[in-house]
Structure 1
Amino acid sequence: MSYEKVCRVADIPDGGVIGTEVGETPVALVRKGAEVFALHDICSHAEVKLSEGEVYDDTLECWLHGSCFDIRSGKPTGPPATRPVNVYTVKIEGDDVLVSLAQES
């Protein structure tokens, strides 16, 4: 599995989200304490950046229509979205966050 360094852990606010890219793929990074989660950064409902939304518990909420996605699985937890977003594998090496675009199963 190929990983790309995308940022440092400290670049992601604890309980927050930032947007980045792995190659040309937009990725939203969510940090909860020492854990970092990576989701496709485009809402499956309205095609806007999820990284401009808010994190609540284990949910990332889209800013436009309020679609909510589980940060671990990418599955929608609230309407209007009905399709999940891809989630990607994250690895922490020291202070660096690395992401693989290979989808988690």
Structure 2
Amino acid sequence: MSGWVRVCSTAELLPGESRVAWDGDTPILVVNLDGDVHALEDKCSHEDYELSAGAIDGDQVECTLHGARFDLRSGEALCAPAYAPVRKFPVKVEDGAVWTRDDR
């Protein structure tokens, strides 16, 4: 398990905004949902495609490749063609910065 990776300052991740951080080879999509920060692997579980390219609508992100939607809070797949969830990662906000890590 690796250590925490700094994503950005809290001022750079306002509600409704997102960033992609890298923990080694793992891309992590970090999203601020009305002040609650969540992190998911930036990879659709249906096709290996980055979710960060898709639109965020409320608490969901849509994969632009085939339209699969995922819950940003839980990683749950919400519609076909994705059936498996996306891995969720821990997030912490500390000293004015947002942090995440690949905790597998």
What TM-score, normalized to structure 2?
0.87
What residue is the counterpart of 1:91 in the other structure?
92
Q: What residue number does 1:46 align with?
A: 47
Distance 2:14 2:102 in 1: 22
Q: State the 1:32 CA deviation.
A: 1.3
Where does structure 1 lack aligned partners over 5 or more consecutive residues? none
Give the partner amino acid of 2:16: G
Q: For residue 30 of structure 1, report the CA deviation from its aligned partner.
A: 1.0
Spell out the pairing of 1:16-55 with structure 2 (5 A cutoff). Answer: 16-55=17-56
Return the offset for 1:13: 4.5
Unaligned runs of 5+ in 2: none
Higher relative strand content: 1
Provide the identity percentage.
37
Separation (CA, whole Å) in 2 of partners of 1:64 and 1:12: 25
Contact 1:17 1:54 in 2 (8 A): no
Which runs of structure 1 show a deviation greater than 4 angstroms over 4 or more consecutive aligned residues?
A: none
- C-alpha separation in 1, matches of 2:75 and 2:90: 12
Is the CA contact 1:29–1:51 (under 8 Å) kept in the aligned structure 2?
no
Kindly indicate whether the alpha-carbon contact (under 8 Å) linking 1:60 and 1:70 is maintained by their aligned counterparts in 2. Answer: yes
* Alignment-derived partner of residue 75 in structure 1: 76
Q: Secondary structure at the match of 1:76?
A: coil
CA RMSD of superposed structures (Å): 1.7
TM-score, normalised on structure 1?
0.86
Q: Distance in 2 between matches of 1:75 and 1:54?
A: 16
Aligned AA (1:101): D
Number of residues of Structure 1 aligned to a counterpart in Structure 2: 103
* 1:59 and 2:24 are equivalent in the alignment: no
